[in-house]
A = this chain, B = another copy of it.
């Protein structure tokens, strides 16, 4: 038996990424173009993500529901900007069994119109507000090119859709959920994400404001890793949703939506992975520890059992008849945060060897201290992984004071470039057309301090540009 060879990360990042996805048994290509199979190791990570995020959503009062999979064409057409954004990339169902449908249905690419169609029936009074609903489901967008987790025709995701009495409340919800995403990705996925506002050009079809979570991958390329939208009452008006307010007057409610996908798994791989394979942040790793006995004499097996009894985190024991070296490699490919090697020589000193996946450092620990040592190192690894990713990200953040400098950086250095920008789409488009870099996000906590690097008019925003997946 041999492990699949992984291409070196610095040699061919794209190939490295695919190799890791396959070698760690995260996904498999299917024979259906554009669809991937999420294999056990990949799906287990998604289950961890779901468990943590879902609990967070519920803590904030959100409830899960399940809306229809299909959207009739006429319903998709209700909000003009929205349909223009999505119609080109939906899958159309035209027949049920042998019968041609009277109206064709698209497989939902997102569910704003489905939620609105429902809210229309159930929102009558201010007492019915807020509605704080979320669903975990599959959506379909007819992408031409696909890559595991990053871009595929079917996407597993969660989408929150809320309705509120006031504009303020809806804006607060939009920002609250943005920060829920930010905190989750920082604290659990160890991703040093940048949050900000999308430009008018890049915002969601139909939204007033789109906030975004921008992660930077190992190669300096951006991955949009979650968005939170404020809709005002665009959709509510288009769908005739209204309620009697506290003064018995008819009002239109204010709406948000927010979503994250299995793309987050892609971000974990491309931020933390190395030439040995996947590296999982401990807090999201389905298996946090793997125990590998070296040899199977009685004392070793006894120690393995002792350790298993001590541990208070999810672990596996590899008792297969593969060679120790193979088992070590396999645990590395899978990204299990801590490996405990139990061997004859160490045991003479009542020790075993703890191997950190993130650094591959080997540390001798006492058998009777395994529980504490494991918990200590899980915390250290989580923190170190974040800091390492942060340092790398910071080393690829640039500021350009003029367009020449911008083009120079864009051509030579991967990463994000910060500039002053006038806010006009023309300047944004010029940059994109001439350099290939798209706007990532307008900074929320930093104001413009100079003129637009393109038109030299007064700067309105600080904004990041970068290449994207």
Contact = CB atoms under 8 A, between A and B. Distances in A.
B87 A91 contact: no
Contact of A118 (B30, B92, B133, B142): B30
A309 B215 CA distance: 42
20 contacts: A30-B67, A30-B117, A32-B68, A32-B75, A32-B105, A35-B68, A37-B68, A37-B118, A39-B65, A40-B65, A40-B133, A46-B66, A66-B156, A70-B91, A70-B154, A92-B95, A93-B94, A96-B142, A97-B142, A138-B138
B98 A88 contact: yes
A118 B30 CA distance: 7
Contacts of A117: 30-31
A169 to B, nearest CB: 19
A324 interface: no
Interface of A: 28, 30-32, 35-40, 43-44, 46-47, 63-72, 75, 87-98, 104-105, 107, 114, 117-118, 121-122, 133, 137-138, 140, 142, 153-154, 156
A154 B65 contact: no
Contact of A32 (B71, B88, B133): B71
A31 B95 contact: no
Indicate the member of A28, A64, A96, A118 with the most B CB atoms within 10 Å.
A96
A262 to B, nearest CB: 9
Given A91-B96, A93-B93, A94-B95, A68 B28 contact: no
A65 B156 CA distance: 12
Given A39-B65, A43-B64, A28 B122 contact: yes
B63 A40 contact: yes
Indicate the member of A87, A137, A142 with the most B CB atoms within 10 Å.
A142
The 7 closest A-B pairs by CB, nearest first: A35-B68, A96-B142, A40-B63, A38-B66, A92-B95, A94-B94, A32-B68
Nearest to A320: B127
Nearest to A114: B30
B92 A65 contact: no
Nearest to A105: B32
A315 to B, nearest CB: 15
Contact of A28 (B63, B98, B121, B153): B121
Contacts of A96: 89-92, 142, 153
Contact of A37 (B35, B67, B92): B67
Given A64-B44, A88-B97, A89-B97, A70 B35 contact: yes
A95 B105 contact: no
B37 A66 contact: yes
Given A107-B107, A137-B138, A65 B93 contact: no
A222 to B, nearest CB: 25
Contacts of A107: 69, 93, 107
Nearest to A38: B66
B66 A43 contact: yes
Given A37-B66, A44-B63, A69-B107, 17 more contacts: A28-B122, A30-B68, A30-B117, A32-B70, A36-B68, A37-B68, A38-B66, A40-B64, A40-B65, A43-B64, A44-B64, A70-B154, A90-B96, A91-B93, A92-B94, A92-B96, A138-B138
B94 A90 contact: no
A27 to B, nearest CB: 9
A70 B142 CA distance: 12
A91 to B, nearest CB: 5
Contacts of A118: 28, 30, 37
Contacts of A95: 91-92, 94, 104
A47 B31 CA distance: 32
B138 A72 contact: no
B72 A32 contact: yes
Nearest to A102: B33
Nearest to A33: B72
A417 to B, nearest CB: 33
Indicate the member of A44, A69, A87 with the most B CB atoms within 10 Å.
A69
Contacts of A35: 68-70
Contacts of A69: 35, 107, 138, 140, 154
A298 B302 CA distance: 59
Contacts of A47: 64
Nearest to A69: B154
A227 to B, nearest CB: 22
